[in-house]
Structure 1
């Protein structure tokens, strides 16, 4: 029996994104206009950061497949200063890791959690939008029960059936109970701000059948401040015997490998089928070696399993460039520098994925996708810094947020008529919400994109599908948009605003002619936009968009003053907030080898695992990244501890 050790490899050394600074910026200028607060490549790390020795040792190539993977270094037993044994060892104490640990200890298991960040400095992922299906909380708050089979069918259709339907179903079946459990543990300060999002703001969408262009969305996700809740969960788990090893870096998986006999099918020349005995390697993961804050190696043995919940690879530029083909190709098509490609804000270093692959695991096949649009975006080529989520409304709404101290985001995408820099309409603006517009503008000439609409704006926004984020946590969907639009009308009456302050990107007027003048459109642009509006209005009157097939429910004419115009910026393709594809796992979240057999003793959950997202992050419910990670992480801890797997 051969014994090997595998190192975490070259982890990234980055400044951690400061969550308080992030949320403070969100409250001050709105999520819609936040500039990136993390340096390129910087990310909070769920699984830890390897030291220079490990990074240098792992710099070589593996077998030619992945230059970023490197050769697996070896840590000798003589270097181990201490051995710790637990039923379950969890590498990475992020959202999925915390939920896995808490559920396992509730089932009576002993648990050790290895987390590289400090107890006081850890930053959990996301904006706390957590998807759930049929939780008691949402049903008690007036939502209708979701038919689970319809949700699963919609999810698989959006991913072209490239995701594992049993994993998705496991989320569907257990997410409601997960969110109710979480709310039962959350402190009062968190409960005071909890609410069901998208239920009132998109009321017309749900009244009209919850379907646009054949795609269906459901309400049901809940905003829960996990950053404040997690310490409460950890304290309770520790009181039951779990141990968090803060500022410990997971760097090594220990394995035992032996050849096992299998029956292999063969076919003779005459077509006769027979079976012959063959052998293939069988790997068992027995433990993980970590490094403590003083540089000492500690071996952790997991008698029931080792769980990788180390997050994604979005903060690792080398891995991002190699694995995110579409984003790399988009940058290539625009002639852009690819050296800085990485997720903005929450990307991890990919170390957990490397650990698993060195132990024989395989990587989720493409297409590999991102949470996109990304949370933060800053223009360097245009005078106005705006967040371009495929919609101009965000950019304009930021003015209300900046002036009133509120925070603003747009979950509706771009429901208004949009034209490019030449004044021509170019797509169905409502197709797949923000995601459809994102795909279009990233494949077009960079520049400004203009949006036009009229006094029926509130009705139009209410009809739009809730494809993505809502407000930051604690800010209800009922933000005072009337104040925003009234401010544009008042500003328009005072004359055309300038861009001297770098924030003006929206105007209002009582006629289109005045509006075009305020926006400083030249004569050719005015003529083109006027023709497009006339043509669009005719489609609205006839109930058919002959150019792009916009859903008739989304056809509202631009005919009732005051009229509004705004622009957003397409500078370069977005690189997303976090990558969503990790190690190949089975229905029980066991990590699989290249023969698609389980690697005994090794499990993965959250963004360390695959099978959950594909094609793009197009969602039948918002908050699916956290909902999936927290639900499946919790289920894995429960199943491991109880012996169900």
Structure 2
């Protein structure tokens, strides 16, 4: 088999690279390890951008220079400034490009907390239904009750970005991209320092593919226990868990390293979630700053304003705790407050939603969660009973709550300076609690690239013909993944934009060598 550009990976970055290279007039073949295209990109909502047509129409004041400055300051200038500038400059062009492919957007106008300080979100419009078959739903790990009933796969509707992925796949085929699913790449071939091809198991048959350039867009290594432990320090399945079933094992990252590629900063795309069903009232109730957060020892360790406001910061605080977990507690008094005055934070995934807690639906959700073997929910009539059920020392929890209630009565949190408006004492049964654990969507970083998405070797030199895009090269998020929250949709934006940059430069390289 012979082509000009091989793209490894059929998710957002890979499809963007393949389409862009094909538009430049070169032959492109895309190889996806799994039977389905899109991967976890199908579970998203939208992407970050600045200076788009929609934003210009609204006279949106946040510009590319502002985005560049925010990213660099947020990473303490540890990110590659030239790469960040290339990403930011590409943002409006990528939105226009996607619109020309047939993707429609609307601006996200509700952000779940004050810490979403930059409204960059471009929601993909649901211009078509994308219903994933049971096998794909199970593969993605969102079966039934979104992981709460993992043994009962059923067809589900994909996220908004599933619409975008399907449109991109259609356009890729229309533009002549050869797409091979269930076809993992096993090796990247190099002669005299230049990329010359790949070896892939195409539908189970070992095949050598000759090419002049390769774009690695294979994602992270969140399911590789050894790599995760070695490069991030986390124990998979103990310290941290994966939110989906796509087995990303970092094999192509290792292939790049084997060719001499430099390693770049790596980390899990970390966040924390409650062990609860995906039910709006229930989840929103626990993600409120009125609640109390304690560790396995029954002590406060974080300002509860991080609940719902910035799950990454809450996750980072949990990393320092024993068992790397947290328990969120509220009482009947706080429940009534949410019913009467409403939620402070509303997760955008649950739009539209009642601003106030629906008591009847909440009770139904409580009953369902208590019956589920896959969730962790406690309802107790006393603090001692609550402590025993969540496994903390009752005397310590009692002391913690007494101190917290004292702060509430004084209107000043002398420990973590929680906003006084959120200080509601916990003393009215029933008491509700759930457990939060660390999760990740993927890992970020691994392969070092420059602003042209060219892969660099350990001497800082370009490996001719080798490019990388998306999570496998997204070290910018490894410094502090909360960047993806501050700049809404940044993770997928990086994938799409570096994919386009890689595809364009890979095609240019092919033309330059004849």
2:279 to 398, 401, 406: 398
Partner of 2:466: 602
How much has 1:226 moved relative to structure 2?
3.5
1:162 has 2:83 as partner: no
**1:124–1:227: 8 Å Cα contact kept in structure 2?**
no
CA distance in 2, matches of 1:547, 1:316: 39
Partner of 2:221: 313
When residues 370 and 155 of structure 1 are mapped into structure 2, their CA distance, relative to the original with a 3 A threshold, is same
How much has 1:602 moved relative to structure 2?
0.9
Aligned residue for 2:268, secondary structure, equals: coil
Partner of 2:488: 622
1:234 has 2:173 as partner: no
CA distance in 2, matches of 1:98, 1:625: 16
Aligned residue for 1:577, secondary structure, equals: strand
**2:223–2:242: 8 Å Cα contact kept in structure 1?**
yes
When residues 609 and 529 of structure 1 are mapped into structure 2, their CA distance, relative to the original with a 3 A threshold, is closer
Aligned residue for 1:576, secondary structure, equals: strand
1:297 has 2:207 as partner: yes
How much has 1:416 moved relative to structure 2?
3.1
**1:413–1:435: 8 Å Cα contact kept in structure 2?**
no
**1:131–1:175: 8 Å Cα contact kept in structure 2?**
no
How much has 1:399 moved relative to structure 2?
7.8
Partner of 1:429: 304
Partner of 1:146: 62
CA distance in 1, matches of 2:56, 2:378: 40
Aligned residue for 1:149, secondary structure, equals: helix
User: CA offsets per residue over residues 233-260 of structure 1, 9 Å max, x none?
Assistant: 3333333332223333322322233xxx
Question: Normalising by structure 1, what TM-score?
Answer: 0.61
Question: Normalising by structure 2, what TM-score?
Answer: 0.75
Partner of 2:198: 288
CA distance in 1, matches of 2:451, 2:337: 47
User: 1:232-271 counterparts in 2 under 5 A?
Assistant: 232-257=167-192
User: CA offsets per residue over residues 161-185 of structure 1, 9 Å max, x none?
Assistant: 3221222232222223323432443
1:574 has 2:452 as partner: no
CA distance in 2, matches of 1:128, 1:173: 23
1:547 has 2:445 as partner: no
When residues 498 and 296 of structure 1 are mapped into structure 2, their CA distance, relative to the original with a 3 A threshold, is closer
**2:27–2:176: 8 Å Cα contact kept in structure 1?**
yes
User: CA offsets per residue over residues 338-371 of structure 1, 9 Å max, x none?
Assistant: 9x9878533412121122122211211x4x2112
Partner of 1:635: 501
Partner of 1:589: 453
User: CA offsets per residue over residues 562-619 of structure 1, 9 Å max, x none?
Assistant: 998532225xx63522110121111111111110010111111112224422233112
**2:290–2:423: 8 Å Cα contact kept in structure 1?**
no
When residues 360 and 178 of structure 1 are mapped into structure 2, their CA distance, relative to the original with a 3 A threshold, is same
CA distance in 1, matches of 2:185, 2:362: 53
Gaps (5+ residues) in structure 1? 1-82, 258-282, 374-387, 402-407, 509-513
State the number of aligned residues: 462
**2:407–2:414: 8 Å Cα contact kept in structure 1?**
no
CA distance in 2, matches of 1:319, 1:530: 40
Aligned residue for 2:67, secondary structure, equals: helix
Aligned residue for 2:352, secondary structure, equals: coil
User: CA offsets per residue over residues 208-255 of structure 1, 9 Å max, x none?
Assistant: xx68xxxx4445242463334334333333333322233333223222
Q: Which has the larger radius of gyration?
A: 1
Aligned residue for 1:131, secondary structure, equals: strand
How much has 1:625 moved relative to structure 2?
1.9
User: CA offsets per residue over residues 375-430 of structure 1, 9 Å max, x none?
Assistant: xxxxxxxxxxxxx52xx6x74873857xxxxxx67996756332446654332123
User: CA offsets per residue over residues 450-470 of structure 1, 9 Å max, x none?
Assistant: 3334655487854x5x9xx74
**2:409–2:425: 8 Å Cα contact kept in structure 1?**
no
1:531 to 399, 402, 409: 402
More helix by share: 2
User: CA offsets per residue over residues 125-168 of structure 1, 9 Å max, x none?
Assistant: 24223332225465279683323333333323333332212222
When residues 180 and 560 of structure 1 are mapped into structure 2, their CA distance, relative to the original with a 3 A threshold, is farther
CA distance in 1, matches of 2:57, 2:353: 20
1:115 has 2:32 as partner: yes
User: CA offsets per residue over residues 504-533 of structure 1, 9 Å max, x none?
Assistant: 83769xxxxx78699688985785365234
**2:40–2:244: 8 Å Cα contact kept in structure 1?**
no
